[in-house]
């Protein structure tokens, strides 16, 4: 019984660290304790099988996805934070290091404004008098909070942040600075790769085939053979049994093998950061748009085809649409394209002047022929409608 509990704890901790690679003791005491308990095995899993570095301290845990050949395999982010938000987050992190244990949005804003105005910093100065800049700054603070470097106090909430943005709140909320996490946010090798400089570790170079294949198996919805180099495909063919056993050991998930590639299938939505489909209008629309493309057996589709499919969905299921989708037909097509790209169910065709087309990927077949039923629960208001 104890052995089974330990196995489940290790698998849970491993999957949780993939989803939240920066964890503080105060922010998630249960996960922190699990990682501390199984740190030796988890460290080996990350380092020997994925080429990641796991750092565990008295108050924080951090997983560094070190680059292989200058790249990091990770799920595609169609809508990442803007460059400006990331710059402000870095400036806010640098300023937070010099604050007291407790700081506020207003204090960080004042410090970033001063820091960004210095000539040696060489970024566009941050102007806190502009509403748009204050909006971007709030997003940067939320990134640091999500990473655990800033921990909101009990009184800090969305209302205070919105109020500060509109100059209706003086401090914008208070945050405790977790310096241990703050100082471990960035790894020098990953940063060097991000700006185009080579900073590899011999371990990454020697085992680059293993790490690339394992990362695709673990990190992505599916590892497609077409995305691997010939050398990587040869390695996978020769080491398939061992690699898949590692995946099962680390996650406990089922392995699905198809002609096009392999996938790890978690037993529930908690195994992914992008569960699909959810009870939301954009998910509902994207699912039926995808089914339309599959039903017509299209290898690829242009924008007009996708818009036509979205219009059919919008007309047939008006109660499942948001007001925006009902009033602006093109919005549903745009939302479906973004979501399906993010899930790698369609890919933009970039070659041969075909930039206006999207290829339907093999994993999309898993969503063929969805059954539409009436739901008692209202759809999510962020992307929801009524009851289809």
pLDDT tens for 169-182 read: 788 889 999 888 88
Contact 63, 52 (CB under 8 A): yes
Task: Indicate if the alpha-carbon torsion angle 188, 194, 197, 203 is positive or negative.
Answer: positive
| Peptide bond just before 381 cis, omega within 30 deg | no
pLDDT tens for each residue of 152-208: 888 777 888 889 998 887 888 899 998 888 888 877 766 666 565 665 556 666 788
Lowest-pLDDT range, 11-20, 199-208, 314-323, 366-375? 199-208
pLDDT at residue 321, rounded to an integer = 87
Q: Of 9, 4, 27, 16, nearest to 270 (Cα)?
A: 16
Residue with tokens 């740190």: 39
Compute the average pLDDT of residues 240-259: 93
Compute the average pLDDT of residues 203-230: 88
Instruction: Centre a 10 Å sphere on the Cβ of residue 184 and count the other Cβ atoms it contains.
Output: 19
pLDDT for 11 beyond 80: yes
Residue with tokens 């400006």: 84
Distance CA 172, CA 308 (A): 45
H helices of 97-223, where?
105-116, 131-146, 158-165, 179-182, 188-194, 202-206, 208-219
Distance CA 80, CA 85 (A): 10
Lowest-pLDDT range, 3-12, 194-203, 288-297, 363-372? 194-203
């Amino acid at each position: 019984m104890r052995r089974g509990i330990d196995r489940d704890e290790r698998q849970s901790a491993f999957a949780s660290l993939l989803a939240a690679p920066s964890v503080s003791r105060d922010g998630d005491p249960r996960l922190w304790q699990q990682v501390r308990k199984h740190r030796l095995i988890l460290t080996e899993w990350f380092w020997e099988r994925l080429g990641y570095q796991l750092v565990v301290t008295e108050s924080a845990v951090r997983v560094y996805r070190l680059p292989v050949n200058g790249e990091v395999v990770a799920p595609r982010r169609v809508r990442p934070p803007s460059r400006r938000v990331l710059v402000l987050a870095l400036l806010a992190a640098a300023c937070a290091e010099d604050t007291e244990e407790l700081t506020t949005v207003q204090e960080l804003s004042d410090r970033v404004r001063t820091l960004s105005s210095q000539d040696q910093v060489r970024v566009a100065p941050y102007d806190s008098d502009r509403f748009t800049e204050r909006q971007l700054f709030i997003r940067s603070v939320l990134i640091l909070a999500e990473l655990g470097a800033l921990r909101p106090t009990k009184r800090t909430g969305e209302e205070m942040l919105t109020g500060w943005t509109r100059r209706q709140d003086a401090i914008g909320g208070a945050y405790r600075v977790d310096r241990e996490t703050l100082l471990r946010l960035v790894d020098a090798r990953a940063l060097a790769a991000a700006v185009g400089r080579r900073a590899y570790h011999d371990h990454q170079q020697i085992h680059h085939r293993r790490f690339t294949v394992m990362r695709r198996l673990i990190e992505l919805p599916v590892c497609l053979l077409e995305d691997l180099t010939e050398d990587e495909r040869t390695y996978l063919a020769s080491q398939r049994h061992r690699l898949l056993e590692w995946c099962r050991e680390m996650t406990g998930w089922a392995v699905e093998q198809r002609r096009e590639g392999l996938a790890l299938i978690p037993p529930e939505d908690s195994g992914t950061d992008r569960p699909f489909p959810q009870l939301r209008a954009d998910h509902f629309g994207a699912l039926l748009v995808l089914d339309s493309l599959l039903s017509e057996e299209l290898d690829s589709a242009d924008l007009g085809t996708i818009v036509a499919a979205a219009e059919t969905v919008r007309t047939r299921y008006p109660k499942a649409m948001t007001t925006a989708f009902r009033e602006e037909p093109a919005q549903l097509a745009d939302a479906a394209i973004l979501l399906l790209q993010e899930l790698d169910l369609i890919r933009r065709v970039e070659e041969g002047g075909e930039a206006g087309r999207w290829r339907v990927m093999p994993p999309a077949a898993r969503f063929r022929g969805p059954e539409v039923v009436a739901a008692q629960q209202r759809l999510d208001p962020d992307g929801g409608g009524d009851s289809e």
